[in-house]
Structure 1
Amino acid sequence: MLAESELVAAGLVGMLAPYRHRVVVDLLPDEVLEEPRALAGVDLVLCDPFTPGPGHEARLLAWLAHAPGVPVLVHTWQTHASAVERALDAGADGWVAKTAPAAELVVAVEAVHRGEAVPAQAGPPAFPGLSGRESEVLVLLCRGLSNSEIAEALFVSVNSVKTYVRQVYAKTGVSRRTQAVAWAHRQGWTG
């Protein structure tokens, strides 16, 4: 894993722990961006070129264009076609949304490692007026998960989930979970 915060890296390691017999996750130092030989022994790089930071996207996309023969899977919140296209055009071998369940991420890692292209998958619906995280919370809410279960799935606190749920309610003009589910269905969610 490259250019992720320790928090994201720890969450991903925890999320993939049940699959440790299939994938091993290590956080790569940012130095590999300047010294490609530091990738010796790495089978695949998982990165998100679209995380916030001055020049982060340009730097990682430029690195992707010259990555030394190591397959790269983009793992990002950005589900817009233009972002996916930029990453794939820069040289990424595949793309998977950060909202994908762990099993789907493992399948994508294994496919890219075998040399297969992982096409841009649909990711979570980008509900109109909601952020990516709010959309993700709404999808999990629609699937019947409790606040505690959503917090566990997203590696955030229950209070954070409550905040996201309140934001979803405010932005969609609803006041109950069932109304939020109905709103999501009216927006085309069929999950």
Structure 2
Amino acid sequence: MTVHAGTAAPYEDGERAVIRVVLADDQVMVRAGLRMVVEREPGLEVVGEAADGAEAVELARRLRPDVVLMDISMPRLDGLAAARRLLGAPHPPKIIMLTTFDTDENLYAALKAGTSGFLLKVSPPEQLIKAIKAVASGDGLLDPAVTTRVIAAFARRHEPVTPPRLAELTPRETEVLRMLARGLTNAEIAGRLFVGEATVKTHVARVLMKLGLRDRTQAVVFAYESGVVTPGSPAR
């Protein structure tokens, strides 16, 4: 386990908030490569490394990073189990799952667990940086095309169940949820509804609060599993 000395809480570098990252992968060379990519970007810092899921949980709980890059397949405790432990605790970090294969079962399990998204290990460096910044700012849907494909594929296997809390949404909030589930950005939703992006952000925040969801990714999973959208239906 590698830890950088310093405060465990987020801090400011001048006027710019530093995004604190923990790397969790059992391969030393992979961690070294990730560290090089992350620390080359201004405003990002790797504060620790873990070689398995159990170390990742302990490290993240102690250092309280903003983002954890978590390999799905690791010894002692795999990445999904580690993610579930962290996400079930107060003030969890954002978690991006790293995987070698674009396997729908793994990706759906990661989304279902409440992770903010996933990346293939072969993704280009700029995509990794974009993903870290996106989830740190509260955006969860890293790849709408792949994410909605995965969720839709699994939604077809089960009958939708409508939770009572869905009735708490207004018609407009339900409409926003439907568009979120189709992978539309705030700007795209604003364009379709003829409102400002600030208004859309307010709607999204209320949807997440009323449904008890952590981020946009969980909102997408919820929308499919509750039948708000169905596989193949168009965004409106």
Q: Judging changes above 3 Å, is the alpha-carbon distance between structure 1 residues 122 and 10 closer, same or farther for their aligned structure 2 residues? A: same
Tell me what 1:91 maps to: 114
Tell me what 1:23 maps to: 44
Pick from 81, 96, 104 the counterpart of residue 59 of structure 1. Answer: 81
Q: Judging changes above 3 Å, is the alpha-carbon distance between structure 1 residues 3 and 88 closer, same or farther for their aligned structure 2 residues? A: same
In the alignment, does 2:133 pair up with 1:110? yes
Tell me what 2:35 maps to: 13
The 2-side partners of 1:48 and 1:11 are apart by 14
Q: Give the drift of 1:87.
A: 0.7
Q: Judging changes above 3 Å, is the alpha-carbon distance between structure 1 residues 54 and 107 closer, same or farther for their aligned structure 2 residues? A: same
Q: CA RMSD in A?
A: 2.8
Structure 2, unaligned runs of 5 or more: 1-21, 148-236
Match for 1:28: what amino acid?
Answer: E
Preserved CA contact (<8 Å) 1:73 1:95? yes
TM-score under structure 2 length normalisation? 0.43
Q: Give the drift of 1:100.
A: 0.9
Secondary structure of residue in 2 paired with 1:103: helix
Considering fraction of residues, name the structure with more strand.
2
Q: Give the drift of 1:11.
A: 1.4
Match for 1:8: what amino acid?
Answer: V
Q: Judging changes above 3 Å, is the alpha-carbon distance between structure 1 residues 11 and 77 closer, same or farther for their aligned structure 2 residues? A: same
Secondary structure of residue in 1 paired with 2:44: coil
Match for 2:130: what amino acid?
Answer: V
The 2-side partners of 1:12 and 1:35 are apart by 17
In the alignment, does 2:68 pair up with 1:45? yes
Deviation string 1:125-146 (CA, Å, 9 cap, x unpaired) is xxxxxxxxxxxxxxxxxxxxxx
Structure 1, unaligned runs of 5 or more: 124-191
Tell me what 2:57 maps to: 33
The 1-side partners of 2:60 and 2:35 are apart by 24
In the alignment, does 2:27 pair up with 1:3? no
Structure 1 residue ranges, 4+ long, deviating more than 6 angstroms after superposition: none
Match for 1:26: what amino acid?
Answer: V
Identity fraction in percent: 25
Match for 1:24: what amino acid?
Answer: E
